[in-house]
């Protein structure tokens, strides 16, 4: 790192070095939290031309490290064309469960033995055969278990559903969606309320096509409220088209949350009512194609990546019924996935959504600093994903360790 790089990076990071981690947002509440600033950023990568194997990249994000801001290790996943997408920690944070949307293959990765060099512990090859489902999307930790929300049925159509496994990969049970909410996507839990909410996207038969060929009538708009302990659907609500991420308010006493509707360019609020039901209401118009939704640890802000507007928006949701746009930043073409640090002062962003939707041509990971006056892009932290020996890679989901 050059002297100029180091000096300016120190200024940008002023007040964050050595700061204790407070609360990591958008993880299952059952996942063990980091008790220190992050050292490693794990990035789930698709080989861009699908000719070489997909992989995990480890990025050094320890600001005191001489290799800070570089890729230090890659883990070959042993196969290609998976459309590696989302992943999640087990509750004890010793493993990451990760999957492919096209192959429905699931990897269980050991990140405890050597966090700097994760390894493949097990590969689940016949997930559709075991669960009757395809397109594993959201990996949500339960105590000793992993809950997966799938995008569709085993044949690539509908209905979608969820499945539970033990942390080491033994299939426990399938959880069927209600008949009037056949689409699947994300899931999130509010343990103190005994409630779980799931959202909707589109199945394999549709998302495997280029965007211009996708059937817009084959996307869901339903959100399902579940009794968590019974795994029983209680209510089907409707939001805008393609409600994606589910984010409960982080306040213990609150009974509301948000979703980003990708094909409706909007934020929606779901809120508990006196009679025990939930109301679903649009509360803000966002930029074009809001693909990801993240929270600040103090529950004050939501971050929305506007994939087709090349922007990330920061919304003040102190009044959840009336969000206010607080700041915007342009980290590069097609920002998509985001990951906010435990102290709420930094955000990592990547720019691949799906191979069938990306048109950026060049892929990256950037760092955004979050301060009292909003967001600012770090001018020096820029991970180039186009220069691997195998060629460009599409980096999607991220986790910190």
Per-residue pLDDT of the chain (401 residues; tens, 9 = 90+): 443 344 334 434 433 343 434 579 999 999 999 999 999 999 999 999 999 999 999 999 999 999 999 999 999 999 999 999 999 999 999 999 999 999 999 999 999 999 999 999 999 999 999 999 999 999 999 999 999 999 999 999 999 999 999 999 999 999 999 999 999 999 999 999 999 999 999 999 999 998 889 999 999 999 999 999 999 999 999 999 999 999 999 999 999 999 999 999 999 999 999 999 999 999 999 999 999 999 999 999 999 999 999 999 999 999 999 999 999 999 999 999 999 999 999 999 999 999 999 988 899 999 999 999 999 999 999 999 999 999 999 999 999 99
- Gap between the Cα atoms of 393 and 317, Å rounded: 35
- This prediction's pTM: 0.94
What is the signed CA dihedral for 310, 315, 320, 322, rounded to 10 degrees?
-90
- How close are the terminal C-alpha atoms of the chain, in Å? 22
Both tokens of residue 242? Answer: 């393609």
Close Cβ partners of 372 (under 8 Å, ≥ 6 residues apart)? none
**Is the bond into 159 cis (omega within 30 degrees of 0)?**
yes
How much is the pLDDT for 22?
53
How much is the pLDDT for 109?
99
Rg over CA atoms, the chain: 20
Q: Nearest 5 degrees, angle CA 88-CA 247-CA 252?
A: 105
Burial 152-177 (b: 16+ CB within 10 A, else e): bbbebebbbbbbbbebebeeeeebeb
Domain boundaries, the chain: 1-29+288-401
Residue with tokens 């009292």: 372
Name the burial class of residue 327, with classes exposed (0-12), middle (13-18) and buried (19+) by CB atoms within 10 angstroms of its CB: middle
Alpha-carbon distances, residue 202 vs 17, 51, 88, 209, 259 (angstroms): 42, 26, 21, 11, 16
- Gap between the Cα atoms of 193 and 378, Å rounded: 39
């Amino acid at each position: 790192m050059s002297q100029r790089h180091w000096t300016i990076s120190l200024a940008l990071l002023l007040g964050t070095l050595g700061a204790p981690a407070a609360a990591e947002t958008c993880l299952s509440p059952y996942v063990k939290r980091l008790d220190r600033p992050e050292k490693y950023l794990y990035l789930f990568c698709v080989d861009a031309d699908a000719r070489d194997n997909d992989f995990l990249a480890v990025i050094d994000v320890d600001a005191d490290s001489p290799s800070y801001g570089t890729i230090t290790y890659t883990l070959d996943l042993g196969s290609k064309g998976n459309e590696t997408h989302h992943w999640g920690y087990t509750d004890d944070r010793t493993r990451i469960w990760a999957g492919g949307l096209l192959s429905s293959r699931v990897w269980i990765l050991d990140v405890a033995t050597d966090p700097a060099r994760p390894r493949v512990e097990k590969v689940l090859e016949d997930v559709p055969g075991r669960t009757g489902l395809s397109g594993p999307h959201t990996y949500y930790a339960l105590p000793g278990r992993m809950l997966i929300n799938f995008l569709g049925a085993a044949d690539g159509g509908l209905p979608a559903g969820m499945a539970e496994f033990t942390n080491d990969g033994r299939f426990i049970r399938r959880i069927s969606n209600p008949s009037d909410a056949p689409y699947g996507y994300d899931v999130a839990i509010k343990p103190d309320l005994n409630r779980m909410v799931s959202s909707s996207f589109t199945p394999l038969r549709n998302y495997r096509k280029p965007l211009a060929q996708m059937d817009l009538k084959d996307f869901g708009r339903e959100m399902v409220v579940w009794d968590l302990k019974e795994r029983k659907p209680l209510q089907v609500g409707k939001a805008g088209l393609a409600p994606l991420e589910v984010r409960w308010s982080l306040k213990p006493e609150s009974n509301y949350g948000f979703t980003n509707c990708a094909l409706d360019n909007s934020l929606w609020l779901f809120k508990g009512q006196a009679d025990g039901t939930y109301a679903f209401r649009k509360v803000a118009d966002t930029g074009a194609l809001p693909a990801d939704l993240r929270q600040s640890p103090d529950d004050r802000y939501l971050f929305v990546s506007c994939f087709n507007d090349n922007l990330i928006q920061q919304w003040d949701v102190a009044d959840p019924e009336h969000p206010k746009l607080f700041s915007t930043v342009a980290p590069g073409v097609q920002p998509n996935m985001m990951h906010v640090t435990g102290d709420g002062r930094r955000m990592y962003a990547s720019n691949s959504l799906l191979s069938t939707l990306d048109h950026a041509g060049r892929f990256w990971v950037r760092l955004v600093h979050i301060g009292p006056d909003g967001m600012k892009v770090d001018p020096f932290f820029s991970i180039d994903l186009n220069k691997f020996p195998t060629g460009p890679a599409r980096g999607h989901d991220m986790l910190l360790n």
